[in-house]
Chains A and B, each alone.
Chain A
Amino acid sequence: GQNIDQPTEMTATEGAIVQINCTYQTSGFNGLFWYQQHAGEAPTFLSYNVLDGLEEKGRFSSFLSRSKGYSYLLLKELQMKDSASYLCAVLNSNYQLIWGAGTKLIIKP
């Protein structure tokens, strides 16, 4: 089967750094997406990785290792508004998006 694993919930402190991990087992790989979803709202696109390495975009960075089937999303200088769920999704060889259940991030002052 195909699956995406992410921690269910994480807690971090305002101003700190947090790393959200995602491991995947899929039939082929054509890229990995990270989305942010605030409660009751639509997911919004954060990043796309298709090659190994780190992609930096402001306070958010995303890393990919295809050989390990592993990605992480790194959030720096955490703000209260970063409290949300973070969804990892992998595009498999059939160009189907396989979604993880998401990681709920709680930011404490």
Chain B
Amino acid sequence: DGGITQSPKYLFRKEGQNVTLSCEQNLNHDAMYWYRQDPGQGLRLIYYSQIVNDFQKGDIAEGYSVSREKKESFPLTVTSAQKNPTAFYLCATSPGGEADTQYFGPGTRLTVL
């Protein structure tokens, strides 16, 4: 069953705690992306990776970190340095070409209390 999985669907954390969001894909796509979605705003790119062991900052990388040790996995850590972490986080993948369509996982809704 091919696809993109994100877990968990809902996540609650206390302020000041780091939290890691999972993104796994079995589509054999080279590129992976992390977006944040807030009400009334467009998707904002946090980090992206076009190849294993390499990743680049997006528009709002501050307070976040990622790793790409395997092609299938691109976890996102939301650190305590992120001032407003409560949001809907979406992972996406694309085959790898610059103009390729991006396909999205089901998302994780993070609430920091």
Contact = CB atoms under 8 A, between A and B. Distances in A.
Interface string B35-47: 0000011111100
Contact of B106 (A42, A45, A87, A91): A42
B110 interface: no
A42 B105 contact: yes
B28 interface: no
Contact of B99 (A87, A95, A99, A100): A95
Q: Which label, helix, strand, loop or mixed, suits the secondary structure of the B interface?
A: loop
Contact of A45 (B45, B103, B109): B103
Contact of B107 (A33, A41, A50, A98): A41
A96 B45 contact: yes
B99 A101 contact: no
A4 B45 contact: no
Contacts of A40: 107, 109
A3 to B, nearest CB: 9
A44 B45 contact: no
B101 interface: yes
Contacts of B106: 41-42
Contact of B42 (A33, A44, A102): A102
Contacts of A101: 40-42
Interface residues of B, number: 17
Contact of B43 (A31, A41, A48, A87): A87
Interface string B87-113: 000100000001101111111010000
Contacts of B103: 45
A48 B101 contact: yes
Contacts of B43: 43, 87, 89, 97, 99
Contacts of B41: 101
B42 A87 contact: yes
A65 interface: no
A99 B98 contact: no
A42 B42 contact: no
Contacts of B102: 33, 45, 97
